[in-house]
Structure 1
Amino acid sequence: MNDWMSSADWQGVVDSASADLDQERAKLSRLSELWSLHTVVHSKDHAVSVTVDGRGELVDLSFGGSKYRSMPAAQLASLILETVARARADAMAKVTEVMGTTSVPGLDLEGLMSGKVDPLEAMNSLFEPMLDGLGLREWSAKDEHDGGGTNRG
């Protein structure tokens, strides 16, 4: 134990970090449930329908009626892109509604869900507050700089 931190301080930091980690872990486990949900959005003229999964990834594209056949290619492409964008936004809104905000600074749940954030970066952001509280973050950064493998024991 370090001289600069009492036993009670140490336990408080560990308990707080553990509670935050448990809360975020529960949110992330609910994420897998949300990813199985599908969102269907129709274009305003119902010529195009798209289905996206909980991550906003396109899983189905269908055309209603025959109106799409007489559309210029650029107009049809624009209609498809617009409808997919609306479906993705709806899917992300559902996830954000259920997940709420994160109590961990730097954890981008929306970026994680959309695949824009590396899961390793997300895990690091979960542990950084705990390392900061324990005064170990500088130690961890030193190990990375030294190539790891530093024996602390």
Structure 2
Amino acid sequence: MSGTSMEQRIAQAMAELEAVQAAVARAEAELGDASVTVRSKDRSVEVTVGPQGELASLRFLGSAYRTMEGAVLAAAVMEAAGEARTRMARQVKDTLEPLTRASSVVPELPGIEVDWGKIFGPDVLGEEDGEDDGSAAARRRRGGRRLRDEIDEDPEGDDRA
């Protein structure tokens, strides 16, 4: 920026700041109405999550859920909810990521720093494109498959507390 006056630099910085503020407002508006819907692999459950990963809707599809063991149904719900949260987290990250970049016009304006793990939890964004890369998210996916085998339902009428 050598060769520009202080007034020009201030004007550029103010224009950049206004552009960032407008981008933040657009991101907030876009994400405020965002949701992601995912069906479980067995197509028995459909889960919708909102922009903060909160469960917004849970639907049981068809009638298969009526004959499913509780542990299997619970695993289907958890699978769909986990995948929906991961997809929503990626959407949020993709929307906000441009705001993390330093200004190309005003080098003194750094991008915002975001700790994605703190926002979404350490496992949510640990995978890319469903690859099993040894990450915590991949381990969680494998653990979710084990859930179907390891959960035992309490027998009906078992009143132990």
What is the alpha-carbon distance in structure 2 between the residues aligned to residue 77 and residue 54 of structure 1? 23
2:148 matched residue in structure 1: none
1:61 alignment partner AA: L
Could you tell me which residue of structure 1 aligns to residue 74 of structure 2?
Answer: 77
Higher relative contact order (CA 8 A, sep 6+): 1
Residue aligning to 2:53: 56
Q: How much has 1:16 moved relative to structure 2?
A: 6.9
Identity rate of aligned residues, in percent? 33
* Alignment-derived partner of residue 23 in structure 2: 27
* Matches for 1:66-105 after TM superposition, within 5 Å: 66-101=63-98, 102-103=100-101, 104=110
Q: Give unmatched runs, 5+ long, in structure 1.
A: 1-7, 116-153
Give the TM-score normalised by structure 1: 0.53
CA RMSD of aligned residues (A): 3.3
Aligned length: 108
CA drift of 1:60 comes to: 0.4
Alpha-carbon distance, 1:75 to partner = 2.0
Any gaps of 5 or more consecutive residues in structure 2?
102-109, 122-161
- Aligned 8 A contact 1:39 1:52 in 2: yes
Distance of 1:68 and 1:95 partners within structure 2: 32
Aligned partners of 1:114 and 1:54: how far apart in 2? 11
Q: Distance in 2 between matches of 1:113 and 1:19?
A: 29
